[in-house]
Amino acid sequence: MRARIVVMGGGIAGLSVALMLARRGFGVTVLERDQAPPADLADIVEWHRPGAPQTRQLHTFLGLFRQDLRTHLPDVYEDLLAHGVEEVSVATPTGTDGGDPELAVLAARRPVVEWALHRALCKEPAADMRYGTSVRRAEVREGRIRAVRVRDGSIDTDVLIDAAGRRSPFRDDFTGLEQDVDCGVVYNTRFFRLRDGVRRPPLTRGVTTMVAGDGFGAGLFYHDNRTFAIGIGRLPDDNELKALREPEGFDQVAALFAEFEPWLRPGASEVLTDVAPMAGLRNTLRRPTEDAPAGYFLLGDALCTTDPAFGRGASVALHQAVRLATAFAEQPDDLPGLAAEVNAGALAWVRPYFDDSVQSDVVRTRLWQAALAGQPLPQGAGVPPVNVFTLMDAGERDPVLWSAAQRCANLLAPLEELDTPENRERLRHLWSTGWRPAAATGPGHADLVDALAR
Ligand SMILES: Cc1cc2nc3c(=O)[nH]c(=O)nc-3n(C[C@H](O)[C@H](O)[C@H](O)COP(=O)(O)OP(=O)(O)OC[C@H]3O[C@@H](n4cnc5c(N)ncnc54)[C@H](O)[C@@H]3O)c2cc1C
């Protein structure tokens, strides 16, 4: 008889892999240290998630996430749309439909997505969900996972899927760091809800409106049920902006942005949450150690974290869950024996996104540091380098570049499809016509410092 599969962690990765495995006939137990989500979506703001503090941060769910959800968990996709999640086209710069129908993203708060995944999993007879249950350690004999230990006993299993996120308890036992690089950014986020009758803020990049600053960045992210969040990113050692984590300072600063201010007035929205700071962010890639036991699988943030600036984490987690569930369904007879191959495949798939995130963080950190030091920006004077942000800017004039940028940004095309001879030539041509990337338009760093001092 097959032992049950144990999934450690009930975040995006854990819930989605458990759901797909249960539907393929596997017995699955999900062990989650936090409490279950509320039954009523209206209470979602109250859901306490100390095990996954990033759930209090703004999120966007990219094209790949939407595509995987529609394909592999269509009932969850429909449930989300039925509960206030909106689909926003990114096929054109203006957000109007037309062109590639795959190019759409989901406007949802992160806990709302988990709420829907949890609801679906509760209906699966093959799934057993245990909230408030921390996995403490794993029992390994003869090189194989045999059981996991929780507070009141142990659960036999020969398959342990580690979906416990960036702070997985097994990160030092069964995995080693392949690479670990500081993201160089601290985020502060606050959520709001539009009042009845107030129109949705204009969005310039899918579900977001981004504002580049001199030494900082800010964004408005639209979410489900007329909620939205403002996020402001700063350098970790920029102590002048530290007070952004205080509600009064945050609100003063957020109101400096012309793109955000009309929606922050008392008549336009109400505050939903405190300011949630998130520091210590790292791009981290792990690989199982040589002697990692058979039956140990890595998923989501437990395998790889990247700078949230690209909004890739949830898409990566769901896509890896799809790949893992497919591998199990294709070769169900020796699941523990699949671990080395499946883990290696997941690592190889995520590697280009990891590398891209590390490189982009280096560039952003240099730009922000130079801006704060009043030095010339280290980006050169000629045609800018090809990356997602440049091509999105240029894409407002050239639909081919827009589409290429969006397909790569939404993980619907590999990153190699960005820097092609054709795209470089199109960029050069635009440059020769006088086009230039959008310059920072918002308040300056000194304005933010002044607002915080008020
Ligand atoms: C500031 C910020 C903004 C972000 N914005 C975006 C975005 O816009 N779009 C996007 O796609 N991604 C974004 N991300 C990343 C995204 O949130 C993560 O990549 C995603 O949550 C990974 O899901 P996961 O299930 O692997 O891990 P998690 O969501 O961290 O889930 C892990 C789960 O394991 C549980 N757990 C931990 N230890 C144990 C244990 N010992 N026993 C049992 N359970 C345990 C935790 O409680 C948690 O529920 C952002 C991240 C941050 C920090």
Distance 12 CA to ligand 1 centre (A): 7
Per DSSP, the three-state class of 316 is helix
Distance 427 CA to ligand 1 centre (A): 36
Domains 5-181+281-357 and 186-280 share a fold: no
Give the Cβ contact number of residue 195 at 10 Å. Answer: 14
Side-chain half-sphere CA neighbours of 384 within 13 A: 20
Distance 229 CA to ligand 1 centre (A): 18
Confidence (pLDDT) at 172: 87
Name the helix (H) or strand (E) containing 322. Answer: helix 313-330
Considering the domain 5-181+281-357 in this protein, what is its CATH number? Answer: 3.50.50.60
DSSP strand pairing (227-234 vs 186-194): antiparallel
CA distance 68 to 78: 13
Per DSSP, the three-state class of 158 is coil
Non-local CB neighbours of 368 within 8 Å, separated by 6+ positions: 184, 214, 215, 216, 235
pLDDT tens, 132-146?
999 999 999 999 999
Q: Average the pLDDT over 54-61 and give the result.
A: 95
DSSP strand pairing (175-182 vs 28-32): unpaired
Atom 10 of ligand 1: nearest residue by CA position: 311
Q: Which residues line ligand 1 (CB under 6 A)?
A: 8-14, 31-34, 51-52, 54, 57, 59-60, 134-135, 163-165, 169, 187, 278, 281, 300-301, 308, 311-315, 317
Q: Average the pLDDT over 413-418 and give the result.
A: 94
Atom 26 of ligand 1: nearest residue by CA position: 300
Nearest of 162, 178, 376, 211 to residue 284 by alpha carbon: 178
CB 317 within 8 A of CB 301: yes
Nearest of 185, 228, 105 to residue 366 by alpha carbon: 185
CA distance 244 to 210: 18
CA distance 159 to 164: 15
Q: Locate 451 and state its tokens.
A: 């607002």
**Mean pLDDT for all residues in the chain:** 94
Non-local CB neighbours of 345 within 8 Å, separated by 6+ positions: 323, 327
Atom 11 of ligand 1: nearest residue by CA position: 314
Q: Phi and psi dihedrals of 294, rounded to 5?
A: -60, 145
Distance 162 CA to ligand 1 centre (A): 12
CATH architecture of 186-280: 2-Layer Sandwich (3.30)
DSSP 8-state code for residue 25: T
Report residue 39's pLDDT band, with 50, 70 and 90 as the boundaries: very high
User: Pocket of ligand 1, candidates 20, 59, 161, 282: which has the most ligand atoms within 8 Å of its Cβ, to mutate?
Assistant: 59
CA distance 262 to 380: 35
Distance 173 CA to ligand 1 centre (A): 20
Distance 112 CA to ligand 1 centre (A): 13
pLDDT tens, 355-399?
999 999 999 999 999 999 998 776 667 888 898 989 999 999 999
* Domain ranges (residues) in the chain: 5-181+281-357, 186-280, 388-432
CA distance 322 to 404: 25
Atom of ligand 1 nearest to the CA of 278: 1
Give the Cβ contact number of residue 385 at 10 Å. Answer: 13
pLDDT tens, 85-132?
999 999 988 766 667 889 999 999 999 999 999 999 999 999 999 999
Write the single-letter amino acid at 45: V
Atom of ligand 1 nearest to the CA of 315: 11
pLDDT tens, 307-318?
999 999 999 999
Distance 79 CA to ligand 1 centre (A): 21
Confidence (pLDDT) at 3: 64
Residue 163 has pLDDT above 70, yes or no: yes
Give the Cβ contact number of residue 65 at 10 Å. Answer: 29
Crossing angle of the two packed helices 445-453 and 247-254, in degrees rounded to 10: 140
Distance 207 CA to ligand 1 centre (A): 20
Q: Which long-range contacts (CB under 8 A, 24 or more apart) does 85-90 make?
A: 85/112, 85/113, 85/224, 86/207, 86/222, 86/224, 88/203, 88/206, 88/207, 88/222, 90/63, 90/205, 90/206, 90/406, 90/410
User: Pocket of ligand 1, candidates 35, 54, 318, 319: which has the most ligand atoms within 8 Å of its Cβ, to mutate?
Assistant: 54
pLDDT tens, 176-233?
999 999 999 999 999 999 999 999 988 888 888 888 888 999 999 999 999 999 999 9
Residue 1 has pLDDT above 50, yes or no: no
Give the Cβ contact number of residue 262 at 10 Å. Answer: 15
Distance 55 CA to ligand 1 centre (A): 7
Atom of ligand 1 nearest to the CA of 300: 26
